[in-house]
A and B are shown apart, each in its own frame.
Chain A
């Protein structure tokens, strides 16, 4: 089954404790992206990657890091999480780099205390 898998789905952590949210897709997609969803703000793009070893900033990259060492994986790293990073995070992938036809994961709800 074609899917985008995120882990963990839920996480409560404390300020400053490094964490990684993993994302894996099994569709051999070149394009992957991370979004955060906050009430009233819709989905805002954090980082995206158009292929292995190619990443770029989205609209809200501050406080996040990403890497793309393999085509299927695109982890999101919070080096020193802060409470304003409490949010619902989505990973998505696409076979086209500009069409925007994304397949989304089920989301990871992160709470930073």
Chain B
């Protein structure tokens, strides 16, 4: 199946710092999404992106759909302890045979020290 490479795999930061993570693919995606998973729970959608070049914010979170349609990034500004969790990128591959498929990255584990 399609591969998404998400980096970094983990981050240890101090409260108040900004965070940046990204996701790349070798093929084109029609949609990019970012999810957050709190411990013991299912992932929750943070931001969805639908057009190349699109830049979308949700509070302290900002995400962009890369212009090549092969990458996306997520920034978190002024991190707080409740930002702790696993962040996943996800995308729907271009192409009719992939309709309905959603591919996830490996996840970025974020730890925030007070």
Interface residues of A (CB under 8 A from B): 4, 31, 33, 35, 40-45, 48, 50, 56, 58-59, 90, 92, 97-107
**Residues of chain B at interface, number, CB under 8 A:** 30
Closest 3 CB pairs of A and B: A104-B42, A59-B1, A43-B104
Chain B 90-114 interface mask (CB, 8 Å, partner A; 1/0) = 1110000001111111110000000
Instruction: Say which one of B43-51, B52-60, B65-73 lies at the interface with A.
Output: B43-51
B74 on interface, CB distance cutoff 8 Å: no
Q: Please give, as numbers and ranges, the residues of chain A lying within 8 Å of B45 by CB-CB distance.
A: 101-103
Interface residues of B (CB under 8 A from A): 1-2, 4, 6, 9, 30-31, 33, 35, 40-45, 48, 50, 88, 90-92, 99-107
Decide if A100 touches B42 in the complex (CB within 8 Å): no
Least distance between A21 CB and chain B CB atoms (Å): 14
Known A98-B92, A105-B42, A106-B42; contact A45-B105, beta-carbon cutoff 8 A: no
Q: Please give, as numbers and ranges, the residues of chain B lying within 8 Å of A42 by CB-CB distance.
A: 4, 6, 88, 104-107
